[in-house]
Structure 1
Amino acid sequence: MHHSLFLLLVLLLPGTWADPEGSFTVRLLQISTFQNTSSVDTEGLGLLEDIELGALDKRTWNIHFYQPWVRPALPRSDWDTIENMIKIYLQKFSHLINDGASKRDVPYPFVVQCVAGCELYPNRTSRAFAYVGYNGQDFLSYDVDLGKWILYEDTDLARYVQATLQNYTAFSELVQVLFNDTCVDDMELLLQYGKAALARREPPVATVFARAPGPAQLLLVCRVTGFYPRPISVAWLRDGQEVLPGPALTTSAILPNADLTYQLRSVLAVNPGDGHSYTCRIRHCSLGTRSLLIPWGNSKAVLISGLVAALSAGVTVAAIVVLWVWRRRKYQKMEESEPRSSIVSNEA
């Protein structure tokens, strides 16, 4: 279940992947589903970058560790303090939300998402943050420097929760201490113990194939998967020149795989038979200074054959046989219109 929590909060909450190069971030993620005033189901997950450190037991609110080096990284007293603070926070949090829901006639069920943590920069400065979402929408954020809760939407419910949190000084002080001091100090220890995990590198695996939504358009798809860490660069080259962003180029978000690697797709719309060659270029830290190049043909004939292959389901058996014989004679060594094999280039 913690994988779905990770993905949901990554997609819904702001600022999650905005880390500059060389920085490290610890995040505590929470989803609380309020079925009614007496039933709250809370999931929690701790992350160092995208490494899952541990999760919250929904029944006891104890921490279960996923990495063997996490518990040795911090003194037992620190873990006891963190667990106690989390339990106190969750009790207060549930009471506060239910109280606000009853006073503002908020209908049940509803979901509250939270992410909080700290970011450590290469120059040893740091930034703490906290965000709250309501039913998948941005709701509140906490400005640690100003000590104030900031509204995303000016609604009656948001103003009420903002005022309640602002007047709850003990909670604000807890946030200040936890994320300005404890978080950064503990993160430095986690970085030492988790050095090997943070250095993990998984190279991307890529394929290129075509889709033909109509006779006048060909979609070249570059699917890249299995890479780690997350940052990656995927571009299309037309005759060796990078295709600039535009309506013909669509690249998906980077999404997690079940094995804790990542994937994405980049789609380029081209005119069949335009005579250009196309290549998908991938750059990733696991490749060093090299680039992974996945070509899609180099001539008008290749693009045409790709279109024919995509439409072949609607061609009669006799036409397929004639086409195969013609291609066999004229292009004996031409590859079928399937994903091309990758080429590693020393291109910077």
Structure 2
Amino acid sequence: MLLLPLAFLSALRGGDSVEVQEHVLFHVIQISSFANRSWVQNLGSGWLGELQTHGWDSAQGTIIFLHSWSRGNFSNQQLTNLELLFRFYFSGITQEIQEYSSQLQFEYPFILQADVGCELYSGATLKSFFQVAYQGSDFLSLQNMSWVPAPEGENKARRICDTINQYDGIKETVHKLIRSICPQFTWGLLDAGKKYFQRQERPEAWLSSRSIYGSSLLLLVCHVSGFYPKSIWVMWMRGEQEQLNTQQGDILPNADGTWYLHVTLDVEARDAVGLACWVRHSSLGGQDLILPWGHHPSMKLILLAVLLALMLPIALALWFKKHWRRQWLSLENPALSL
């Protein structure tokens, strides 16, 4: 089985924990798709919380830094050592699995997933993890210094754990990676990306609606987008009374790293007047953003504006035609101008 080289880790900084002020998660996700004995695709990505910070170029065997601060405070040499470690891991794990797939009872095609990382808490506490899934189900994990099969893995996972638990070098390398290097790198990311994470982006909000087919209800939608940080409060209100049947969707990421959210409210069309969408966010300086329903152009006003826009050129054309006709007639018959 694969023995990860401890030499690659010797150049990386030591230490067991990092002091942080809040809960922080950094983890690396691996997805390996084995189509047959000769074709495999390895995908890798690094995530700080819900923000992707790194990718993996499987063709070049190199780390992709998705932000200017994604290198953290590690030196080029430390990052090169990590890159070599990941390259060796992907190459070795692929070779080992393909060679022993029949003994491991892996039936092609199959997918292996790994989630590796650390969670930092205030008070310098640390939780680290290395979890592996097979075909989307929990398979095995590293607990302290032993590989432990998941109940879903049954005998297949137990046999693999019995085998790889014999290789102390693998366990020591992984243990150092998640207990020492991961928290150091995470703290460096937070420090390097301080300005990025402390920025404040004001939300933009707008309203829309649609009739609910087969009923007299109206679905009111309050869209809020472009805000950062993620924490936000959005509610349909009548005066200062919260409408408890407000439904909030998931907070979704925008391409620029900001967030989007919509909240909806089912209401009788005749009762929509007097409602408003309230938005509270740290970027607003304590001033709620309030969008009253009915203070946006109705469909009748929109249609009227469209008709005016269409009629204006026609009216101008008729005026010019009449004007120039009179001018022309006056030139031909001066008496008409008297």
TM-score (norm 1): 0.68
Runs (5+) with no aligned partner, structure 2:
1-19, 308-338
Matches within 5 A, 1:1-348: 22-71=22-71, 73-98=73-98, 101-102=101-102, 103-108=104-109, 110-135=110-135, 137-140=136-139, 142=141, 144-145=143-144, 147-149=146-148, 151=150, 153=152, 166=165, 169-214=168-213, 215-244=215-244, 248-274=245-271, 277-297=274-294
Q: 1:250 to 1:72 in 2, by over 3 A?
A: closer
Secondary structure of the corresponding residue to residue 273 of structure 1: helix
Alignment check: 8 A CA contact 2:115 2:131 kept:
yes
Alignment check: 8 A CA contact 2:23 2:122 kept:
yes
Cα distance in 2 for partners of 1:141, 1:262 equals: 35
Cα distance in 1 for partners of 2:231, 2:149 equals: 30
RMSD: 3.4
Cα distance in 1 for partners of 2:272, 2:53 equals: 51
Equivalence for 1:338: none
Cα distance in 2 for partners of 1:165, 1:252 equals: 44
Q: 1:271 to 1:185 in 2, by over 3 A?
A: same
The Cα shift of 1:193 comes to: 2.1
Moved more, 205-214 or 95-104: 95-104
Cα distance in 1 for partners of 2:170, 2:53 equals: 24
The Cα shift of 1:220 comes to: 1.0
Q: 1:120 to 1:278 in 2, by over 3 A?
A: same
Q: 1:286 to 1:79 in 2, by over 3 A?
A: same
Secondary structure of the corresponding residue to residue 270 of structure 2: coil
Alignment check: 8 A CA contact 2:47 2:53 kept:
yes
The Cα shift of 1:183 comes to: 1.0
Q: 1:235 to 1:163 in 2, by over 3 A?
A: farther
The Cα shift of 1:283 comes to: 2.5
Q: 1:273 to 1:68 in 2, by over 3 A?
A: closer
The Cα shift of 1:34 comes to: 1.9
Cα distance in 2 for partners of 1:216, 1:162 equals: 61
Q: 1:197 to 1:138 in 2, by over 3 A?
A: farther
- Cα deviations by residue, 1:278-311 (Å, 9 ceiling, x for unpaired): 222222232243332222249xxx9xx97xx5xx
Cα distance in 2 for partners of 1:42, 1:112 equals: 10
Amino acid corresponding to residue 86 of structure 1 in structure 2: F
Q: 1:292 to 1:140 in 2, by over 3 A?
A: farther
TM-score (norm 2): 0.70
